[in-house]
Structure 1
């Protein structure tokens, strides 16, 4: 009994859960700790990744900001004008003789014989007028002259008889003087009547509108049946006539070139609508004074036009021998307008901007001819921003950057 009791005491106690196949409790805790550690490690790795990405993004933003803060500019080097002694200036073609044709007599247009573009000779009939009032006045003047002529004949014969009577002392000197006065008055009346007839005949001749010079008709402003008023005040011109060979070209020469032109110099005239066709003329007249408002000198060029390719009124370019030394040319879009005057932005070797005061000799449209203020080796900024100022640091754009800007 005692041995059985001891034997039973020596047998270890069994876990209530051992018979059911479940893991021990400390194993569960161990697995939970491992899972927690894995989760914490993953969170730590995510946090580290987020911090690294933020740092990289911050550095990228800073680099981009620094890159964008750099000011890139395009520059050009001034080119020198050739010392060919030619200055290109605008001019206007005008007929050597131009005139509106007005009527000297009042009447109705009976017929016109020429139209625009017609070449006419001097004295050629352009139009006829119907002038009934002038015709009646002329007929009346002729009748009055005939009446005065008859009175003069009677006065003359009467004077001759009284002169004979005076020689025989049959009449007094007073009576002879009266007959002499009547005769002299009739002579004067006849002269006045003749003058009036000549005036009306000359006025009647104006019913024929003729060309005062040879040229081409550039305007016709009337038609058959129009009432034509005499004179050129409020009345319209019947025709406009221009002599197209030779032509005159009027040019306003800047004061800077006024001392370098003289009568007889050869000039070349070109027209944009006739490319590759230069026309050669001669400088024939120079104004004796500088025009005060424009500070320019008017010159006149005579230009032969035998084939009529050039037409009066056209805009042309005239190459005048006015330049005396080479100047620098820069693009027109490099100019800066400031309150102190025109400026050009120049970049030095260190990338620093300097605003140069310049003197513009001539504005050629797409380019500027500079008298002074820059050197041939300067790098001039093209299309500078309005905010650019002295001392700014800029970078000269490379060809690749220029291509990116263009795109």
Structure 2
């Protein structure tokens, strides 16, 4: 009996200890400690951010156009000869050429022989003409003494005129042979760059057939921009265009509108605008580029670029509600915005934001609509002292 009572007391003491060990703890305010810890966690999850006010500013109004670079004037170079084989090709694609530079040469053996024959015929005709002139002079002396009749004198004069005409024919034939011989040499009609070469050694070409070369005249290229008809009215000849391509210093190329097409395609409702671009080896025909044409100015809110968040191929600004809750926290709203031109680190907002609204500057990428934030003043830029001399 004694051992039974002792066992009952031990069990009771063990149960009391377990109760005390697992009893929920009370916080200082009487709430369960777990609830207090949860409240502390909720408070610590509120992000502290800096904000900036959207300010109205005059920003350039720009029109974005796209297109491909093309040669300002691409010249096809052919041959005026037929049935001759190419014996020399002196240039290749990409070579710079000057006006009059020799590009290719055809086999000229037959034409040189023909020229020699024409020159011999000319000398023969000149000799006969000289003999006929001498005969006239002798006939005129004989006619004065009555040794020959007037009829014979007229016949000799006619013969002299015929031989003189034959000299003219021979001279024309020689000039024609000289011209045909000159056509065996293909020369550049202007300065430029060889864009394409079809000339091959041994190839027999014909006049009016396959072109031998294509030359980019004066190395000038231009942007052929395709512009919808509704936007063409904003453009004018002489307006500048900032290209998407940059030079060796990282600065964008600047072009100038040269021609605005007077017609619009009836199917696509698109017109062509030709934009002169600077001469640079990087800008080559066929390249696809975009250009921003400044068409005027407009007033729009402006933000520092770091205040704009790019997510899901869209631009967002996290706007701060001016009102505070009872704990001094602000509510934020993520708005999709349309960005416009930039000036250094400033970015124009064309839609989605009003001047005077506060926008989260730092920490915007971690926020979503409905989140609470604590606004802290933006620290002033620290100015480092000048080094001592």
TM-score by length of 1: 0.51
Partner of 1:140 in structure 2?
A: 117
Does residue 1:122 correspond to 2:107, yes or no? no
Deviation at 1:180, TM superposition (A): 3.1
Partner of 1:98 in structure 2?
A: 74
Task: Identify the structure with the greater strand proportion.
Answer: 2
Partner of 1:269 in structure 2?
A: 243
Partner of 2:213 in structure 1?
A: 239
Cα 1:181–1:303 shift into 2, 3 Å: farther
Q: Partners of 2:98 and 2:243 in 1: how far apart?
A: 28
3-state SS, counterpart of residue 138 of structure 1: helix
3-state SS, counterpart of residue 91 of structure 2: coil
Partners of 1:272 and 1:316 within 8 A in 2: no
> Alignment RMSD, CA only?
3.7
Cα 1:133–1:151 shift into 2, 3 Å: same
Partners of 2:60 and 2:295 within 8 A in 1: no
Cα 1:281–1:181 shift into 2, 3 Å: farther
Partners of 1:260 and 1:321 within 8 A in 2: no
Q: Partners of 1:271 and 1:86 in 2: how far apart?
A: 17
Partners of 2:222 and 2:277 within 8 A in 1: yes
Q: How does 1:222-261 map to 2 (within 5 A)?
A: 222-229=199-206, 231=207, 233=208, 235-243=209-217, 245-261=219-235
Cα 1:177–1:213 shift into 2, 3 Å: same
Deviation at 1:174, TM superposition (A): 4.5
Q: How does 1:6-405 map to 2 (within 5 A)?
A: 84-106=60-82, 107-168=84-145, 170-229=147-206, 231=207, 233=208, 235-243=209-217, 245-271=219-245, 278-287=252-261, 289-291=262-264, 293=266, 295-306=269-280, 308-321=281-294
Partners of 1:148 and 1:186 within 8 A in 2: yes
- What whole-Å deviation, never above 9, does each CA across 1:133-166 have from its counterpart, x for those lacking one? 3223222222221221122112221222333344
The runs of 5 or more residues in structure 2 that have no matched partner are 1-57, 300-337, 339-350, 353-367, 370-389
Q: Partners of 1:295 and 1:170 in 2: how far apart?
A: 93
3-state SS, counterpart of residue 86 of structure 1: strand
Partner of 1:332 in structure 2?
A: none
Deviation at 1:283, TM superposition (A): 2.1
Cα 1:279–1:151 shift into 2, 3 Å: same
TM-score by length of 2: 0.53
Instruction: Please say which structure displays the higher CA radius of gyration.
Output: 1
3-state SS, counterpart of residue 67 of structure 2: strand
Cα 1:273–1:179 shift into 2, 3 Å: same
Q: Partners of 1:269 and 1:111 in 2: how far apart?
A: 41
- What whole-Å deviation, never above 9, does each CA across 1:348-367 have from its counterpart, x for those lacking one? xxxxxxxxxxxxxxxxxxx9
Task: Identify the structure with the greater helix proportion.
Answer: 1
Deviation at 1:311, TM superposition (A): 0.7
- What whole-Å deviation, never above 9, does each CA across 1:63-98 have from its counterpart, x for those lacking one? xxxxxxxxxxxxxxxxxxx97343222333223342
Greater shift in the superposed pair: 269-278 or 82-91: 269-278
Cα 1:292–1:173 shift into 2, 3 Å: farther
Cα 1:193–1:85 shift into 2, 3 Å: farther
